Chains A and B, each alone.
Chain A
Amino acid sequence: MGFVKISSRKFKIPGYLIGPILILVIAMVYGTLGSEYFLQPSSIVFNTGRYIEIGLLALALTFVIINGDIDLSVASTLAASAGVLAKLYSGGIPIFWCSIAAILTGTLLGLFNGLVIIKFGLPSLVVTLATLALYRGLTQVMLGDGVVANYPDNFVGFDQRLVIGGNPGLPAPLALFFVAAFIFYYVLHRSNYGLKNLMTGSNNSASNFSGINVNRVRLIAFAVSGMVSGICAVLITSRLGSTISNVGLGLELLAITVVVLGGTDIFGGRGSISGTVISLFAIMAVRESLVIQDVNGQVQDAVIGLLLILTVLVPRIRSYRVEKKNRQKRFNEARAMSASH
């Protein structure tokens, strides 16, 4: 029996992936059955671009959350970076340098988050809740109620470009996401830094005493989260061809949803890039299968909420049951022992 178990374990899908994979499969079936327009190559090309910003933010947030932290300010960091991009571009600076400046801005804002949290020992939830408002406010001050549009044609529409041509081709955003996912996968699961992340998140003080520079690990994650927000600012500006101060409003919640649905523990210490990637595609499939069947926004949000609560609840119920069973067993043993005396 032992042999059978070992060999079957090799092919076993990790428990945290079962939820997202199931959701992905069911949504694909639901969409295909529900609408003849769901599975079109062109729709895959046109629609993925909208989700890639959420996906990239989720990849970066996976690290932050594994550390036991949270970054609620990613969407506001994105907005502030987009604001800098727009402001510089209207000042006549070439779009390439504006984009670099946006990424730098994101990185700096992320570093600021990390430094305040670590230097003053404050909870990341509180600090990034504050910078969520602060960075968005700064964007409003920068842009006012105005709009910056008229970006050059070769900059606009990144999301509609194909890296590999043909039908279906590989859309540029999707290619970028896969490259990013591979890099993040390598760092989390194959590098020293990734190991330090997981250790920091599972036991901060023990990791500290065993020689891991916990604060540096956390600071890097915040800086990367800011940098990715800056990159997403460039992508979203290219996709929309315009900038206003409420750009990306609410994106942080969508990105955190992806991370948590992918099985990363919101209290830190556990998580995976594969979970985040599959979870992104699961959410994409759910949303697209609903919207193609004319389901309104509120209902879509409700379905995602329901799925999220189920995916986090089901493993909990399972472990609760196991624990209860073990407790009962121990109780029975103790009773049997006391009876024999």
Chain B
Amino acid sequence: MVKNHKALIPVLGLSLILTGVSASFVATSATAATKYKVTYIPKNLGNPYFDAIVSGFNKAAKKLNMTVKVVAPAQAGATDQIPFIEAAIQQRVDAIAISPNDANALCPTLKRAMKAGIVVLTVNGDTAKKCRQASITPVDFSVLGQYLVDQTASVIDGKGDWAFLSATSTAPDQNSWLEGAKKYIDGGGQPGLTLVDTVYGDDAPEKSATEAQALLAKYPNLKAINAPTTVGIAAAAQVLSTSPLKGKVQVTGLGTPNQMRQYVKDGTVKAFSLWDPGLEGEIAANLIVAIKAKNMKPKKGLSFKIKGVGPGKWKMGKKAVIIAGPPQEFNAQNIDDFNF
């Protein structure tokens, strides 16, 4: 018996630590007495992209008398978000916003949340329509192909040879954009441009850099490389920043401001794009209040105004999806306004 008591000491010590931790958690969560309690569940933590959505949420929450809690699983597995949805239901929050890791596996739990009177929105990714009330998507992906062609034209003044440096040859997003781009070109879009090649860097930095170098060697008249992938654009910019062709061949496409900042500053890159994830958070926070306070029923064709966010009204499209706006262009003038 005495032996057993000895065994208890470390475990008891741990329990004390746990109690201490719990006390500190209680202290922080009990301070706010706000009108709207919202839980946002990103795909996982430590991802600057989702941090940007969170800061958009927080920006709007300040004006809306809202507290936003952010909780996320360790892995981005299909079912890892379920415990956090359950916890939010138990805590009787007013709304759950989620960037779902799976379109179907979360459905039963999200439906239960809605049954409990909780507003459920999906942000930057969607589930089946019946599992949430509305969805906020960062950009209209169906016109992105055309956008990429126009973007290329704008950095080389509408004239010259250019190439795509894509992700993997099977990446569904990129392939649909590439297809859209080709359709636009075949239909007479940007006639001054000639698309000479499409290569695949497999979203691996090494492979993307090698492919970019090969393009430069193969096409001496090349004026621009468009990489619609964050890995590819950074790799291509890195290759050109140390090449004698720097400034003569333009790199553009889709990237994040933090990874591209140095190349914009050193003159390798004139402009590139992505969307502003913070906007998704701001729209979501405002939409929650609109649904809760004004009893708005999300459906196609509905539109609403948000003070200080966006130029006009926000419209709901098919399946109650809100598009958070046109792609955001980043250049030497505005890049320091963004941090993600």
Binding site for B on A (CB under 8 A): 8, 12, 15, 18-19, 22-23, 26, 29-30, 33-35, 37-38, 40, 42-43, 46-47, 50, 147, 149, 156-157, 160, 239-242, 244, 246-247, 249-250, 287-288, 291-298, 300-301, 303, 306-307, 310-311, 314-315, 318, 322
Q: Please determine whether A293 and B25 come into contact, CB atoms closer than 8 angstroms.
A: yes
- Can you report 29 residue pairs joining A to B where beta carbons are below 8 Å apart? A12-B1, A18-B8, A22-B11, A26-B14, A26-B15, A26-B18, A30-B15, A33-B22, A34-B26, A37-B90, A46-B86, A46-B112, A47-B83, A50-B86, A149-B104, A157-B108, A240-B79, A241-B108, A242-B104, A242-B107, A247-B79, A287-B83, A291-B83, A292-B91, A293-B26, A294-B71, A297-B73, A300-B74, A318-B6
B104 touches A147 (CB 8 A): yes
Given the known interface contacts A33-B22, A242-B105, A318-B7, the answer about A297 and B87 at a Cβ–Cβ threshold of 8 Å is: no
B102 cross-chain contacts in A, Cβ below 8 A: 242, 244
Residues of B within 8 A of A147 (CB): 103-104
Q: Which residues of B contact A46 (CB under 8 A)?
A: 86, 89-90, 112
Identify whether the interface residues of A are mostly helix, strand, loop, or mixed.
Answer: helix
Bound CA–CA A322/B3 (angstroms): 9
Chain B: CB-nearest residue to A300: B74
Query: What residues of A have a CB within 8 angstroms of the CB of B29 in the complex?
Result: 293-294
Partner of B78, one of A34, A43, A247, A294: A247
Task: Evaluate contact between A310 and B6: CB separation under 8 angstroms.
Answer: no
Bound together, the chains give a CA A240 to CA B103 distance in angstroms of 11
Chain B residues positioned under 8 Å from A310 (CB to CB): 10-11, 14
Chain B residue nearest to A147 (CB atoms) is B104
Task: Specify which chain B residues have a CB less than 8 angstroms from the CB of A297 in the assembled complex.
Answer: 44-45, 72-75, 80
A43-B90 in contact (CB<8A): yes
Judge whether B11 and A19 touch: CB under 8 Å.
Answer: yes
Q: Which 10 A-B pairs have the closest CB atoms?
A: A297-B74, A242-B104, A297-B73, A34-B22, A26-B15, A240-B105, A37-B90, A298-B74, A291-B87, A314-B7
Write out the residue numbers on chain A whose beta carbons fall within 8 Å of the beta carbon of B19: 29-30, 33
B84 an interface residue at 8 Å Cβ cutoff?
Answer: yes
Which parts of B21-62 form the interface with A (CB within 8 Å)?
22, 25-26, 29, 44-45
Say yes or no: is B310 at the interface (Cβ < 8 Å to chain A): no
Q: Using A35-B91, A42-B90, A249-B78 as known contacts, list a sample of 9 further A-B pairs with CB atoms less than 8 Å apart, ordered by residue number in A.
A: A22-B11, A30-B18, A33-B19, A33-B22, A34-B22, A244-B78, A292-B90, A297-B74, A315-B7
Q: Is B4 an interface residue (CB 8 A)?
A: yes
Range class of the B interface residue count = 35 or more
Contact check, B86 vs A43: say whether CB atoms are below 8 A apart. yes
Contacts of B117 in A (CB 8 A): none
User: Please, which residue of chain B has its CB at the minimum distance from the CB of A149?
Assistant: B104
Interface residues, chain B, with chain A CB atoms under 8 Å away: 1, 3-4, 6-8, 10-12, 14-15, 18-19, 22, 25-26, 29, 44-45, 69, 71-75, 77-80, 82-84, 86-87, 89-92, 102-105, 107-108, 112, 128
| B90 adjacent to A40 (CB under 8 Å) | yes
Flag if A295 contacts B91 (CB, 8 Å).
no
Residue from B1, B29, B86 with most neighbouring chain A CB atoms (10 Å): B86
Shortest C-beta distance, A172 to chain B (Å), equals 14
* Bound CA–CA A16/B74 (angstroms): 30
Whether the Cβ atoms of B89 and A30 lie closer than 8 Å is no
The residue in chain B whose Cβ has the minimal distance to the Cβ of A306 is B14
Q: Quick check: A8 and B104 within 8 Å, CB to CB?
A: no
Shortest distance from the beta carbon of A333 to any chain B beta carbon, whole Å: 22
Q: Which residue from A29, A247, A294, A311 sits with its C-beta under 8 Å from B25?
A: A294
CA distance A61 to B206 in the complex (A): 43
- Of chain A, the residue at the smallest CB distance from B101 is A246
CB distance from A25 to the nearest CB of B (A): 9
Interface centre among A149, A296, A301, A314 (most CB of B within 10 A): A296
CB distance from B76 to the nearest CB of A (A): 10
State whether B108 touches A239 (Cβ < 8 A): yes
Cross-chain contact A240 with B104 (CB below 8 angstroms): yes
Residues of B within 8 A of A160 (CB): 108, 112
Closest to A26 in B: B15
Interface residue from B11, B18, B72, B77 paired with A246 (Cβ < 8 Å): B77
Minimum CB–CB distance from B195 to chain A (whole Å) comes to 28
Using Cβ atoms and an 8 Å threshold, which residues of chain A touch B14?
A: 26, 306-307, 310
CB-defined contacts of B73 to chain A, threshold 8 Å? 296-297
Q: In the complex, how many angstroms separate the beta carbon of B316 from the nearest chain A beta carbon?
A: 24
Separation of A81 and B3 alpha carbons in the complex (Å): 46
For the complex, what is the distance from the CA of A105 to the CA of B29, rounded to whole Å?
A: 48
The smallest C-beta distance from A75 to any residue of chain B, in angstroms, reads 11
Other-chain contact of B71, A156, A288, A296, A301 (Cβ < 8 Å): A296
A46 to B71, CA, bound (A): 19
Q: Which residues of B contact A306 (CB under 8 A)?
A: 14
A249 and B77 contact, Cβ closer than 8 Å, known pairs A22-B11, A26-B18, A318-B7 = yes
Say yes or no: A314 contacts B90, CB within 8 Å.
Answer: no
The residue of chain B having its C-beta at the shortest distance from the C-beta of A12 within the complex is B1
B132 to chain A, nearest CB (A): 15
Given A50-B82, A147-B104, A241-B107; A296-B11 close (CB under 8 Å): no
Identity of the chain A residue whose Cβ is nearest the Cβ of B105 in the assembled complex: A240
- Measured CB to CB, the nearest residue on chain B to A27 is B18
